[in-house]
Amino acid sequence: MKNILLLLFLILHLLFAVKGHAQNHVLDSMMILLKTQQEDSNKVNTLNEISWETINIGNYDLALKYANDGLALADKIHYDLGAADSYSRLGRTYERKGDFTEALKNHFASLKLKEKLGNKQGIANSYTGIGNIYFSQGNYAEALKNYSASLKLNEELGNKEGISYSYTGIGLVYMRQGNSPEALKNLLATLNIAEEMGNKSAMAMSYNNMGMVYDMQGNSSEALKNYTASLNIEEARGNKVGMGGAYNNIGTVYFNQGNYPEALKNHLASLKIKEELGNKDGIASSYNNLGGVYAKQGNYAEALKSYSAALKLNEELGNQAGIAEVNSNMGMLNFALKKYDAASTYLTTSLRLAKEIGEKEIIRTNYEGLSKVDSATHNWQSAYLNHKMYLVYRDSLINEDFTKKTVQAEMNYAFDKKEEATKAEQEKKDAVATQELARQKLVRNSFMGGFATVLLFSIVVYRQRNKVKKAKERSDELLLNILPSEVAEELKETGAAKAKSFDMVTVLFTDFKGFTQISEQLSAQALVAEINYCFSAFDNIIHKYGIEKIKTIGDSYMCAGGLPAANHTHPEDVVKAAIEIRDFMLEHKKQKESEGAIAFEIRIGIHTGPVVAGIVGIKKFAYDIWGNTVNLASRMESSGEAGKINISESTYELVKSKFSCEHRGKITVKNTGEVDMYFVEV
């Protein structure tokens, strides 16, 4: 399921005549003011602002009424600027309703008037609005052209918020085209500006869009973290549009994790909000996602019903990307139902549309689907060719070069933040030093008090040095507890730590089976104590084998061998550690059950391959690793069984002479295809 909702709040409301905040008391005040106004430009401005406020609260019919009233009056009194604003609001409203044809028509009308007036900021706003519509229609070339034009004008005007929204549009175009490094670079630029300005709306949008990039890369934990951050901000703001989008995207993450009840819950919550708002585009997105959930649950009747509703709405809207995706999903649904002719028709239609608009991920999915259909119908030559094209597009979306560039963009952002903080701290120290020099000058001019002052100062310095030394020792101790020693030293010496590529490491993931259900039966204190007991034991085990702990995510534990110092024994070391972890959990389970207590069962997955490693963030530094190797190691865990150690073929080839293993055959892994897996038999 790829249909994440793009939160394109890119028509810059702060740049209209009066800034709106969608607050009822503001709307009430403007309604009262409207009754007292003459038929002049002030009344046009008020009508336009009422229209904007009603857009923000999701009352689109009322928004259209007031925008049309404003346009009629502006035309009557020949007030071009007011008419341009009315057209902008009409364009924005139709966009929210999913009527892209009318939205474009009104945005172009607004642009024409602003060009006539020479209103540069208004022109920039219109370019952004037009870019949004083209983006929603899947016309990425035109979207990028308009966002870039908007960025150029906003930079000329020095409008930071306008610049940030332009970066967002550009970032999302690159994301849709599968260029995640460029996407992340532009979205991080947006987040940086939003944080500087304290703009909650832009921060929520940035978190959402960052989540989409991580989602596309298969990093579900980071995606969920960013989507949840966006949802929390939108709930605090009471922004239904943002809430609907966040629920949609959270549902998608749960879907990708195989948690279909949670996926269904969030997508239904999203659909409800979009139906309240009358947002056709959003409703189509929700129906498409619900179809995917129902299909995975084996409820094919509901899946077909949902997909059909989504396809109908997307065709009404002229949304080419939406039409392509739903056709692809209906193709795979018919394949599951063994209706191969229908499956081939849907997939071929989707492939044609996806190629026209440059949707690489949909192209990849269609080639994979057509390969499966051809195999099922014994059309082996076509199956081979389609599978070959699937591999080409898969590798273009997930490859080491992109991963390295993505990490570099993250690190640059983190280190820019750190440098800003360091610069501010240094300026503070310089000011203190200046004051100290002035004080010492006074001391030199006073001989009688000078000696005593210097002596006292020396004592203070001596004591302070001791305090600093102890604090430094404590700081070093804490730093080494969260970072590898090599990385910690580099960070202390240079103020930064460069990301490094490792040609081969072995990554281990663990997870507790049925964690959610068991956790509901324990108190918070008992749950934390149990997890801490298990993870502390894991820490001791991996330390014995020289394995680096990476992080814990909920009930999941992640570590890696062969970094930060490379070695040749890491595959064997990690498998040995996995055996000890498994045996520890089996023994612990016996003990807990003998006491009549609840016990966890563990799944363990291992994969060997290349990664990129480094630290991220400016607070709570964390050493982390990235790459397809990490994703596949996680899939090894989720594809395994309780009490078993599931390893990939690449790990098996490195340890087969040391351990007895059972070949499980080829097992389908999301975003990768079929993978040979083995259980370690010890």
Predicted confidence at residue 20, as pLDDT, reads 34
**Could you tell me which residue, 479 or 29, shows the higher pLDDT?**
29
**What pLDDT does residue 398 have?**
54
What are the CA-CA distances from residue 157 to residues 121, 148, 162, 167, 193 (Å)?
Answer: 8, 14, 9, 15, 16
Q: How would you classify the pairing of strands 673-680 and 661-669?
A: antiparallel
- Angle at 454 (CA atoms; ends 452, 456), nearest 5 degrees: 65
- Asked whether 350 and 331 are in contact (CB, 8 A), the reply is yes
Q: Sorting pLDDT into bands at 50, 70 and 90, what band is 54?
A: confident
pLDDT for 84 equals 94
Q: What is the number of alpha carbons within 13 Å of residue 362 lying toward its C-beta?
A: 32
Q: Could you tell me which residue, 294 or 449, shows the higher pLDDT?
A: 294
| CA 18 to mean position of chain CA atoms | 32
- The per-residue pLDDT for range 142-159, each reduced to its tens digit, is 999 999 999 999 999 999
The region that residue 78 occupies, defined by phi over 0 for left and psi between -120 and 50 for alpha, beta otherwise, is left
Determine the pLDDT at residue 114. 93
pLDDT attached to residue 7? 42
For residues 498-512, average pLDDT: 87
Average pLDDT score over residue span 560-570:
88
Distance of alpha carbon 113 from the chain centroid: 38
What is the per-residue pLDDT for 678? 96
Mean pLDDT of 481-487: 57
Q: Is 397 within 8 Å of 364 (Cβ atoms)?
A: yes
* pLDDT given for residue 506 in this prediction: 96
User: Is the pLDDT reported for residue 95 higher than 90?
Assistant: no
234/466 Cα distance (integer angstroms): 49
User: Cα(321)–Cα(286) distance, rounded to whole angstroms?
Assistant: 14
Question: For the chain, which domains are there?
Answer: 1-141 (1.25.40.10), 238-318 (1.25.40.10), 320-397 (1.25.40), 497-680 (3.30.70.1230)
Overall average pLDDT of the 626-641 stretch:
89
72-76, Cβ contacts within 8 angstroms, sequence gap of 24 or more: 73/39, 73/43, 73/44, 73/47, 74/41, 74/44, 76/39
Decide if 256 contacts 671 (C-beta within 8 A).
no
- What is the model's pLDDT at position 599? 84
Pairing of strands 556-561, 548-553: antiparallel
Q: In this structure, are residues 53 and 26 in contact, taking their beta carbons and an 8 Å threshold?
A: yes
pLDDT at 445 over 50: no
Lowest mean pLDDT among 77-91, 188-202, 556-570, 618-632: 618-632
Average of per-residue pLDDT across 398-421: 50
Q: What share of the chain is helix, strand, coil (3-state, %, to 5)?
A: 70, 10, 20
Q: What are phi and psi of 416, to 5 degrees?
A: -60, -45
| Model confidence at 6: pLDDT above 50 | no
DSSP letter assigned to residue 326: H
Lowest mean pLDDT among 29-38, 305-314, 330-339: 29-38
pLDDT for res 408 = 47
What percent of the chain lies above the pLDDT cut of 70?
79
Q: Is the model's pLDDT at 197 over the cut of 80?
A: yes
Q: Is the distance from CB of 94 to CB of 100 less than 8 angstroms?
A: yes
Give dist(CA 24, CA 21) in Å, integer. 9
pLDDT tens digits, 96-145 = 776 788 999 999 999 999 999 999 999 999 999 999 988 887 788 899 99
Per-residue model confidence (pLDDT) at position 222: 86
pLDDT band at 514 (very low <50, low <70, confident <90, very high): confident
pLDDT of residue 583: 92
Inter-residue contact 458 to 443 (CB < 8 Å): no
Instruction: Give the per-residue pLDDT at 466.
Output: 53
Q: Please tell me which residue, 221 or 517, carries the higher pLDDT value.
A: 221
Joined tokens for residue 139: 């016309």
Three-state DSSP at 132 gives helix
Report how far residue 117's alpha carbon sits from residue 120's, in angstroms, rounded to the nearest whole number.
Answer: 9
Mean pLDDT value of segment 647-664: 92
User: Does residue 381 come out as left (phi exceeding 0), alpha (psi in the -120 to 50 range) or beta?
Assistant: alpha
3-state SS class at 299: coil
Q: Residue 199: its pLDDT value, please?
A: 86
Q: Is the peptide bond before 610 cis (omega within 30 degrees of 0)?
A: no
pLDDT bucket at 513, cuts 50 / 70 / 90: confident
- Banded model confidence at residue 488, pLDDT cuts 50, 70, 90: low
Instruction: Return the residue matching tokens 């949909």.
Output: 362
Determine the Cα–Cα distance for residues 499 and 391; give it in Å rounded to an integer.
28
Who's near 310: CB < 8 A, 6+ residues apart?
Answer: 284, 285, 287, 288, 291, 322, 326
| Residue pair 167/12 in contact by the 8 Å Cβ criterion | no
- In three-state secondary structure terms, 624 is strand
Please state, in angstroms and as integers, the Cα–Cα distance from residue 45 to each residue in 81, 144, 280, 514, following that order. 9, 31, 28, 58
Q: What's the chain's Rg over C-alpha atoms?
A: 29
Query: Token digits for 638?
Result: 């989720």
Look at residue 158 and give its three-state secondary structure: coil
User: Helix or strand or coil: residue 511?
Assistant: strand
Confidence of residue 72 (pLDDT cuts 50, 70, 90): very high
User: What pLDDT does 628 receive?
Assistant: 84
The interaxial angle of helices 320-336 and 280-296, nearest 10 deg, is 20
Q: How far apart are CA 213 and CA 631, in angstroms?
A: 15
Is the backbone of residue 358 left (phi > 0), alpha (psi -120 to 50) or beta? Answer: left
Mean pLDDT of 270-282: 87
Mean pLDDT over residues 451-455, rounded? Answer: 40
Distances (CA, A) of 111 to 8, 91, 102, 653: 19, 11, 14, 63
pLDDT average, residue stretch 261-272 = 95
| 202 against 43, higher pLDDT | 43
